[in-house]
């Protein structure tokens, strides 16, 4: 029997439970920091299987600890639990029962895969060391990872390495993707207020029009990536919102812009941010407006550590075979708050294919592919038995 096949065989006997759990979570999605039902389900299951369970870490986060043998090696595995404010359009029988809320990013599957592994590892105990399972809330832009870290996650449950996994539509079902170094982008959120002097629409010479200034700012910002960033590097400057004015015959007092900036390394991130600030300030000034910029550094670049990535890739090859493993998977300009955890502890993030023809995550027709549940759970089992291999 090839290495790790015993894990798939064991999980296959409880496959029905795994599917039911995933679909139950899917039917009851909860937004960030409101994952009360989901975290109660997680805590109850872990307790039943013999884990030491800690709740309320990062508000609705749950940590389960399982010690086996005498080794002091420590491994942390992380899944996210939150859903999105999207109206579901999958037509599946287990569709969301919470109107306007949907598991459109597959965090239902991530939670179910880690629970499957938790059950297997507690029942079989073929590892030596300390296993910490992290079920985090609020991955979708609300800072759930930061909240858990602020609650002392890594001081209370120190780990030698941390791993996280996300499903990925477009990759063949059950294939695994790894990448050393930067894998997902940083994100900076900016709220810009341009202040002018409001007035009558027929007398612009007596007003200072922030709307015209805002339009010019939007156009000028398009030059940052095109003219300032090295063409071999990657950055995105998106103005996702521009709000100014209410009526055709009134020059507004204010214009508000909301920006999202992405980059794949720290220097490009700083350079992009500096250029964006400088263009906003000087453009505004040239139109006689004042500008204020509110900056929220939402996510750092997600950087996978070399040794941990190679270890994780090797386990992937042993589980699903070299043909189903990509060690050089594409970088994404999307962001992921596991990046905060990887800044504090070595580790790696990986993708598991959700199927080639599947809708992208955050689409109302997206659904986590239950066919990959076993592979994902078995991967966590295999990684644990390898990282915490008995002497
Ligand atoms: Zn998402
Ligand atoms: Zn996600």
Burial class (CB in 10 A: 0-12, 13-18, 19+), 333: middle
What is the model's pLDDT at position 1? 52
Q: How far is the CA of 386 from the centre of ligand 1 (A)?
A: 29
Q: How many helices (H) and strands (E) does the chain have?
A: 11, 16
352 has which bridge partners? 167, 176
Q: How far is the CA of 181 from the centre of ligand 2 (A)?
A: 20
As residues whose CB is below 5 A from the ion ligand 1, the structure lists: 105
Cα atoms in the Cβ-side hemisphere of radius 13 Å centred on 60: 22
pTM of the model: 0.93
Q: How many residues does the chain have?
A: 391
Q: How far is the CA of 335 from the centre of ligand 1 (A)?
A: 9
What is the model's pLDDT at position 3? 85
Residue with tokens 């007035």: 199
Does residue 387 contact residue 311 with C-beta atoms inside 8 Å? yes
Q: How far is the CA of 81 from the centre of ligand 1 (A)?
A: 11
Per-residue DSSP letters for 196-235?
A: -B-EETT-GGGSB-HHHHHHHHHHHHHHIIIIIS-TTS-E
* Rounded Cα distance, 28 and 178, in Å: 31
Q: How far is the CA of 101 from the centre of ligand 1 (A)?
A: 13
Does residue 236 contact residue 190 with C-beta atoms inside 8 Å? no
* Rounded Cα distance, 162 and 132, in Å: 9
Q: How far is the CA of 140 from the centre of ligand 1 (A)?
A: 6
Residue 230, both tokens: 């090295």
Residue 36, both tokens: 């009360």
As residues whose CB is below 5 A from the ion ligand 2, the structure lists: 105
Q: How far is the CA of 275 from the centre of ligand 2 (A)?
A: 30
* Rounded Cα distance, 144 and 76, in Å: 16
Q: Which ligand is nearest to the CA of 80?
A: 2
- Closest listed residue to residue 163, CA positions, set 331, 349, 300: 349
- Closest listed residue to residue 142, CA positions, set 77, 86, 78, 59: 59
What b/e readout covers 346-365, taking b as 16+ CB neighbours within 10 angstroms?
ebbbbbbbbbeebbebeeee
Q: How far is the CA of 243 from the centre of ligand 2 (A)?
A: 29
* Rounded Cα distance, 167 and 110, in Å: 8
Question: Which residues of the chain are modeled with pLDDT < 50?
Answer: none
Q: How far is the CA of 361 from the centre of ligand 1 (A)?
A: 6
Count of CB atoms within 10 A of residue 264's CB?
A: 22
Q: Where are the beta strands (DSSP E) in 143-200?
A: 161-169, 176-177, 181-184, 186-195, 199-200
- Give the largest CA-CA distance in the chain: 83
Does residue 112 contact residue 25 with C-beta atoms inside 8 Å? yes
Q: How far is the CA of 256 from the centre of ligand 2 (A)?
A: 29
Q: How far is the CA of 249 from the centre of ligand 2 (A)?
A: 44
Pairing between strand 129-136 and 74-80?
parallel
What is the model's pLDDT at position 371? 97
Helical H segments across 228-351, by residue range:
266-286, 306-320, 338-344
Q: How far is the CA of 212 from the centre of ligand 2 (A)?
A: 37
């Amino acid at each position: 029997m090839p290495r790790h096949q015993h894990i798939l065989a064991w999980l296959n006997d409880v496959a029905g439970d795994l599917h039911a759990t995933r679909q139950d979570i899917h039917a009851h999605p909860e937004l960030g920091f409101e994952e009360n039902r989901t975290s109660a389900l997680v805590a109850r299951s872990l307790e039943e299987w013999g884990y030491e369970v800690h709740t309320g870490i990062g508000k609705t986060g749950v940590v389960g600890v399982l010690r086996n043998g005498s080794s002091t090696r420590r491994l942390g595995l992380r899944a996210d639990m939150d859903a999105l404010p999207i109206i579901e359009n999958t037509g599946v029988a287990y569709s969301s029962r919470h109107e306007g809320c949907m598991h459109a990013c597959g965090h239902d599957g991530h939670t179910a895969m880690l629970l499957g592994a938790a059950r297997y590892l507690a029942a079989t105990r073929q590892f030596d060391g300390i296993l910490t399972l992290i079920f985090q809330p609020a991955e979708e832009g609300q800072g759930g990872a930061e909240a858990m870290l602020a609650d002392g996650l890594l001081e209370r449950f120190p780990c030698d390495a941390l791993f996280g996994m996300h499903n990925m539509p477009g990759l063949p079902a059950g294939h695994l993707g790894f990448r050393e170094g930067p894998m997902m982008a940083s994100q900076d959120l900016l709220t810009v207020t341009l202040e002018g002097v409001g007035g009558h629409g027929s007398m612009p010479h007596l007003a200072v029009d922030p709307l015209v200034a805002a339009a010019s700012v939007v156009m000028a910002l398009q030059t940052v990536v095109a003219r300032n960033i090295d063409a071999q590097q990657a950055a995105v400057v998106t103005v996702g919102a521009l709000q100014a004015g209410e009526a055709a015959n009134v020059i507004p007092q204010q214009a508000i812009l909301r920006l999202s900036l992405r980059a794949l390394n720290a220097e490009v991130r700083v350079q992009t941010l500096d250029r964006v600030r400088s263009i906003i300030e000087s453009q505004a000034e040239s139109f006689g407006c004042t500008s204020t910029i509110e900056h929220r550094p939402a996510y750092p670049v997600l950087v996978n550590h070399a040794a941990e990535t190679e270890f994780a890739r090797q386990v992937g090859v042993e589980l699903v075979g070299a043909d189903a493993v990509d060690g050089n998977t594409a970088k994404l300009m999307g962001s992921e708050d596991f990046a905060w955890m990887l800044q504090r502890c070595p580790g790696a993030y990986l993708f598991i294919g959700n199927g080639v023809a599947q809708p992208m995550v955050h689409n109302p027709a997206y659904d986590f592919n239950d066919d990959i549940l076993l592979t994902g759970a078995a991967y966590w089992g295999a990684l644990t038995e390898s990282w915490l291999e008995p002497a």
